[in-house]
Structure 1
Amino acid sequence: MTTALEGLKVLDMSRVLAGPWAGQLLGDLGADVVKVERPGAGDDTRSWGPPYLRDEEGKDTSEAAYFLSANRNKRSVAIDITQSDGQQRVRELAAQADVLIENFKVGGLAAYGLDYASLRELNPLLIYCSITGFGQDGPYAQRAGYDFMIQALGGLMSITGRADDEAGAGPVKVGVAVTDILTGLYASNAILAALAERERSGEGQYIDLALLDVQVACLANQAMNYLTTGQPPGRMGNAHPNIVPYQDFPTADGDFILTVGNDAQFRRFCQVADRGAWLDDPRFATNAARVTHRAELIPLIRQVTVFRSTAEWITALEEAGVPCGPINTLRDVFEDPQVRHRELLIQMDHCKAGQMPLVASPIKLSRTPVSYRRPPPLLDEHAAEVPDDWLRQR
């Protein structure tokens, strides 16, 4: 069965997460992705352990779980780009590539003759995607940018965490490097758009992506809440700034999430909770009223939810058509029947571990589905085959 990006050649010179995430996505869609790494060390995340992949005897291998999360469907070649012969090897590969992804500091590759202007002379069709913390220009352009810092600088941490008047108050980062991941998704979208345009113009182009730009763009409704009112939104814990009730609530044996998205759902919730009087209370009749009177309604709901178990609430509310759910651990997630049905956990053969688990791509294409052709590579695993393979396909 063919894949959507079959025949596309991607030279992935990026490391850590944002660029590799974009490269993995393109690889899942069928692109031939060659990852260029530093000799002896490779991608930084190869050493970001423990945990490490375990072999069939349960012993740690040298393959860090972090690296494995973003580098399947790639072939690895180790090239020292500080040396003239290494630079020439990259030029030869770039001359055959459709796409190049890199996340060096601004101007970092120009010193080696591997910047866009230089490689465009060799390959006018090349789509060259640069990912940096702050972009190619502006007062911060020369600064290094890391996800955690950008979550703070870009405003995300100002709206994440418990409110100032609650116990445990303070800014909190998201539990995964979400800015890196979103930047990888934006990068792959931009690359696909540039490839589509190339079909019309017959020309490649340069893509300038910045983590800060992506983080600001992804503030979404919170950004518009500020821009339309002039009032910066604050931290609200698990509550929603525009919808009530839409947060966590305590139960007799834990907690659950209640996500009431409209007034009809709130009416059904009141019926399940046996609180019909709330339906006649003008403070709670509409979502706008509930947002205004959040401080009165939320304690009342908490006084009700503590008398049933999480399972009891979820069963009753699902039957009534009120969106809700448990707060799962990752063990719960991968044992969930819907997650299993959607096959979000896959197994691949690995030379050091026998079989290894990976999280599947969420993309479901009817005619050209994603494919899992290669496990994350060992460092320089494909040194011999890649140059011959790519150069033979001139």
Structure 2
Amino acid sequence: MSRPVASLALQHLQVLDLTRVRAGPTCCRVLADFGADVIKIEAPPGVDPNENILGERSSYDNQNLHRNKRSLTLNLKQEAGLALFMKLVATADIVVENFRPDVKDRLGIGYEALAARNPRIILASISGFGQDGPYRKRAGFDQIAQGMGGFMSITGKLGDGPMRAGIALADSSAGLYAALGILVALAEREHSGRGQWVHTSLLEAQIALCDFQAALYLVDGKVPQKAGNDHPYATPMGTVPVADGFINIGVGGDGQWRAFCAAIERPELADHPDYATQPLRQQHRAALMDLLNGIFKTKSGAEWIERMERAGVPSGPIYAMDEVFADPQVRHLGIAQKVSDGRPDIRLVGQPVTLSRTPASLVTPIPEAGEHTDEILREAGLDEAQIAALRAKKVV
């Protein structure tokens, strides 16, 4: 039986997905949505005490993370299970894992072992803190990385305590960086014919996401501070209260500042001695924002956004999630995509990048555990008697 293919872009690749929770599955989701044959390898029922860590298998989170994949149950703690895994490695392109670094070595599936079986294999490893170093064996969770990576120290209002992001920022970004590393390794393999070991961590990914705030310290030696909803180094750029809630505004330079002053019908502010340049506006930010807050409270958000748009000044509403997906531009982009799982109206979050000839798509929901075990084993050359024997021994 031919498998549904989400895209032609990566349909020539096979991925053995040993990951769980979020970072690793995020990486494999990218590959699956662009057509790779991602085989989700999971322990047979009852073997893994944490098998439902993200809730029921059909939950929104699992559906979003594991669409477009096939499922093979395999007990890697049994010798026969490990041998079967290595048989699959021989013809696969990529293995992705997010065990603690010592686990794969203990199982005998580190990069050197995989490469000995298949020199073209690419192993992608995602950990909490890195593959070596003093923290290599520590368990890593997203919020821990947000704290240690500096993000929580620069998020929230000045004077308040640390604040996490409302999403799994370190997890998701580590998964995306791993996918990027895999694609680079695939491109290099076209020349060398050899695979390599790609690895990242939640901690590294979170530090990288801090970007210019991290660079401020590394280059200038300054420790960045919280700025709440204001941009840390540009004013006025942040949230302002309006008659019916809040909106975002963004004034990026002196030209936009002048257009902005005209749009709010306060042209005299353009050359005000406290606000005429960006450094002055930053120096007097508190007074300027107090002034602007009073002005913006006089009209609705829609009125102000229309004025800003006419003036060429960036602005936008601040949506709850239902409003996000009701927005006409979001609907036009089609990032909410349907996938059939017996509920015709289920929608998931699609890939946020479009390829003109080989776009990603959603074709299948999360598979049942072991749904494709027999199919995958037959593809690997096993006959029905061999598959039955593996089941009897609870290897699969």
| Residues 45/300 of structure 1: CA separation in 2 closer, same or farther (3 Å cut) | farther
CA distance in 2 between counterparts of 1:77 and 1:69 reads 19
CA distance in 2 between counterparts of 1:82 and 1:371 reads 35
Conserved? CA contact 2:156–2:163, under 8 Å: yes
CA distance in 2 between counterparts of 1:43 and 1:150 reads 24
Conserved? CA contact 2:21–2:53, under 8 Å: no
C-alpha displacement of 1:159: 0.5
The yes-or-no answer on 1:359 pairing with 2:319 is no
Conserved? CA contact 1:348–1:356, under 8 Å: yes
| Residues 208/179 of structure 1: CA separation in 2 closer, same or farther (3 Å cut) | same
Q: Which position in structure 1 is the counterpart of 2:17?
A: 12
1:149-192: CA deviations, max 9, x gaps? 0000110000111110xxxx221111110111111111111001
Matches within 5 A, 1:368-383: 368-383=358-373
Q: Which position in structure 2 is the counterpart of 1:151?
A: 146
The yes-or-no answer on 1:120 pairing with 2:115 is yes
CA distance in 2 between counterparts of 1:296 and 1:43 reads 56
Secondary structure of 2:101's counterpart equals coil
CA distance in 2 between counterparts of 1:389 and 1:365 reads 30
1:41-91: CA deviations, max 9, x gaps? 679574534xx6xxxxxxxxx512111121111101111111112111211
Structure 2 counterpart of 1:192, from 155, 177, 183: 183
Q: How large is the RMSD of aligned CA atoms in angstroms?
A: 1.8
The yes-or-no answer on 1:337 pairing with 2:328 is yes
Q: TM-score, normalised by structure 2?
A: 0.91
C-alpha displacement of 1:354: 4.6
C-alpha displacement of 1:355: 4.6
Conserved? CA contact 1:16–1:45, under 8 Å: no
Unaligned runs of 5+ in 1: 53-61
CA distance in 2 between counterparts of 1:371 and 1:137 reads 37
| Residues 288/43 of structure 1: CA separation in 2 closer, same or farther (3 Å cut) | farther
Matches within 5 A, 1:91-240: 91-164=86-159, 169-240=160-231
Conserved? CA contact 1:244–1:291, under 8 Å: yes
Conserved? CA contact 2:58–2:366, under 8 Å: no
C-alpha displacement of 1:229: 3.0
Conserved? CA contact 1:16–1:44, under 8 Å: no
| Residues 140/245 of structure 1: CA separation in 2 closer, same or farther (3 Å cut) | same
Conserved? CA contact 1:263–1:286, under 8 Å: yes
The yes-or-no answer on 1:26 pairing with 2:70 is no
1:341-394: CA deviations, max 9, x gaps? 11111111114x3552111111211111113232221211111111223559xx
Amino acid at match of 2:69: K
CA distance in 2 between counterparts of 1:292 and 1:229 reads 19
C-alpha displacement of 1:276: 1.4
> Percent of aligned positions with the same letter in both sequences?
41
Q: Which position in structure 1 is the counterpart of 2:54?
A: 48
CA distance in 2 between counterparts of 1:253 and 1:188 reads 42
Matches within 5 A, 1:234-253: 234-253=225-244
Secondary structure of 2:203's counterpart equals helix
CA distance in 2 between counterparts of 1:68 and 1:219 reads 29
CA distance in 1 between counterparts of 2:50 and 2:257 reads 49
1:92-117: CA deviations, max 9, x gaps? 11111100000011120222222212
CA distance in 1 between counterparts of 2:380 and 2:34 reads 19
Matches within 5 A, 1:76-95: 76-95=71-90
Amino acid at match of 1:336: D
Conserved? CA contact 2:69–2:364, under 8 Å: yes
CA distance in 2 between counterparts of 1:223 and 1:329 reads 30
CA distance in 2 between counterparts of 1:377 and 1:175 reads 28
Amino acid at match of 2:9: A
1:112-160: CA deviations, max 9, x gaps? 2222121211111100011101111111111111111000011000011
Matches within 5 A, 1:266-285: 266-285=257-276
The yes-or-no answer on 1:306 pairing with 2:297 is yes
Conserved? CA contact 1:93–1:391, under 8 Å: no
Q: Which position in structure 2 is the counterpart of 1:56?
A: none
Amino acid at match of 1:143: R
Structure 1 counterpart of 2:278, from 287, 297, 303: 287
CA distance in 2 between counterparts of 1:32 and 1:282 reads 62
Q: TM-score, normalised by structure 1?
A: 0.91
CA distance in 2 between counterparts of 1:232 and 1:375 reads 45
Conserved? CA contact 1:16–1:43, under 8 Å: no
